[in-house]
Amino acid sequence: MNVSKKTGHRFGAHRVIAPPGAMPQNAWKLDDTPVPFANEILCDVEALNLDSASFAQIRAFCADDEQRIAEHILATVRERGKQHNAVTGSGGMFVGRVREIGDDLRGIDLREGDTIASLVSLTLTPLRLEAIAGVHVTSGHVAVRGTAILFESASWSKLPADIDPGVALAALDVAGAPAQIDKLVRPGMTVVVIGADGKSGMLACARARARLGRSGTLIGVAPRATTESAALLTSERIVDTFLEADARDALSLSDQIAKAAPGLADLVVNCVNVDGTELASILCAKDSGTVYFFSMNTSFTAAALGAEGVGKEVAMLIGNGYTKDHAAIALQTLRDNPAIHAYFNKYYAFARPAETLS
């Protein structure tokens, strides 16, 4: 039987092996067979970008040993048919070359041989790995040889010619954050970005500054105000204030925010890659303010019960990985902010000077 002639479910339900009734994202195991149905795209995968929550957990579990990290990822993908971290529940995305486009999708703006980044999570992407060529522990990039399937409903982005593929991969992984900021920030607001010196935090700050202009107040928060990225946000006048704080200490951080912005924040954006920061985010927001939880380390229970416990009526938003035009907005944010782009080039470019993935 030639399965490539059949049309699968547009959300990929036909690829679920277990448990019955699951969709690809919440399935335990997917069929990773590298033969596309008529409404699927088969890609040769060149690199994975594990999301920060997942990669931090794997790094800790494997004691930062690149060989162990590689074996851990290979074992997960072999067992589940996808890169789905069972501890954090999160994934990441991939860069690869289109090998075959199913007949039903012939009208799309994509050709065999094009290089693309997937814009859907690795937690729902059928993936088969032959080998891992290298693990780069600081960027979260993993050079691989393998194949992946994109469903009819999947988002993807062709890689731009003017941005290094590794930089594009890093920015596109967190593309939902700057795109949502566009919708949430209005001139005059007080905005707090927690985890401001990371990838999503920097892009969120840049986008918030663009929306605020010189109005309002933008406060960045991270454990150290002396990191290169924190210093950059300050020297480029993207943030008005950079606070050094551990967001797991809710009272200490909210006291610091109350000193810097006595009315508290209209919007708190949580971009951290550690657990236990929900209550700090809630306490930094004013009554009727908004907390945008972009972090994959967010616990629904901790946020819901934490807000109830302190009697705070705030709107809490889950960081949807998809937002209309999010890929274009993330890449444009880099183009609009040369200093941030240069920082991403230094740490996330595939063509890093004197440094390779393998």
Residue 273 binds to ligand NAP (criterion: CB under 6 A): yes
Residue 198 binds to ligand NAP (criterion: CB under 6 A): yes
Q: Where are the beta strands (DSSP E) in the chain?
A: 16-18, 29-30, 41-50, 92-101, 115-118, 127-136, 141-150, 156-158, 190-194, 217-222, 241-244, 265-270, 285-293, 315-318
Our CA angle for 173, 33, 154, nearest 5°, is: 35
Residue 278 binds to ligand NAP (criterion: CB under 6 A): no
- One symbol per residue from 79 to 98: x for binding ligand NAP (CB under 6 A), - otherwise; what is it? -----------x--------
Residue 299 binds to ligand NAP (criterion: CB under 6 A): no
Q: Which range, of 22-30, 155-163, 294-302, 341-349, touches ligand NAP by CB under 6 A?
A: 294-302
CA pair distance 172, 156, nearest whole angstrom = 10
Q: Which of 34, 89, 160, 223 binds ligand NAP (CB under 6 A)?
A: 223
Q: Which of 66, 104, 246, 275 binds ligand NAP (CB under 6 A)?
A: 246
> For ligand NAP, how many residues bind (rule: CB under 6 A)?
33
Are 261 and 233 in contact by the 8 Å Cβ rule? The answer is no
Phi, psi at 190, each rounded to 5° = -100, 120
Residue 5 amino acid letter:
K
| Closer to ligand NAP by Cβ: residue 185 or 272 | 272
Residue 157 binds to ligand NAP (criterion: CB under 6 A): no
Q: How far is the CB of 120 from ligand NAP (least distance, A)?
A: 10
Residue 269 binds to ligand NAP (criterion: CB under 6 A): no
Q: Which of 159, 278, 319, 340 binds ligand NAP (CB under 6 A)?
A: 319
Q: Side-chain half-sphere of 94: how many Cα atoms within 13 Å?
A: 29
216-168-166-352 Cα dihedral, nearest 10 degrees: -60
Q: Which range, of 7-15, 45-53, 154-162, 283-291, touches ligand NAP by CB under 6 A?
A: 45-53
Q: How far is the CB of 218 from ligand NAP (least distance, A)?
A: 15
Q: How far is the CB of 243 from ligand NAP (least distance, A)?
A: 10
Residue 102 binds to ligand NAP (criterion: CB under 6 A): no
Residue 247 binds to ligand NAP (criterion: CB under 6 A): yes
CA 357 to chain centre: 20
In eight-state DSSP terms, residue 25 is T
Q: How far is the CB of 78 from ligand NAP (least distance, A)?
A: 23
Starting from the edge strand earliest in sequence, which strands make up the sheet with 285-293, in order? 241-244, 217-222, 190-194, 265-270, 285-293, 315-318
Per the DSSP assignment, residues forming a β-bridge with 101 are: 41
Are 203 and 172 in contact by the 8 Å Cβ rule? The answer is no
Q: How far is the CB of 260 from ligand NAP (least distance, A)?
A: 15
Q: Which of 48, 150, 193, 194 binds ligand NAP (CB under 6 A)?
A: 194
Residue 281 binds to ligand NAP (criterion: CB under 6 A): no
Phi, psi at 155, each rounded to 5° = -95, 150
- One symbol per residue from 165 to 184: x for binding ligand NAP (CB under 6 A), - otherwise; what is it? --------xx-x--------
Q: Which of 5, 224, 237, 346 binds ligand NAP (CB under 6 A)?
A: 224
Q: Which range, of 29-37, 221-229, 324-332, 336-344, touches ligand NAP by CB under 6 A?
A: 221-229
Phi, psi at 307, each rounded to 5° = -65, -40
- Count of C-beta atoms within a 10 Å radius of residue 35: 14
What residues make contact with ligand NAP under the rule CB under 6 A?
A: 51-53, 90, 173-174, 176, 194-195, 197-201, 221-224, 227, 246-248, 271-274, 277, 294-297, 319, 321
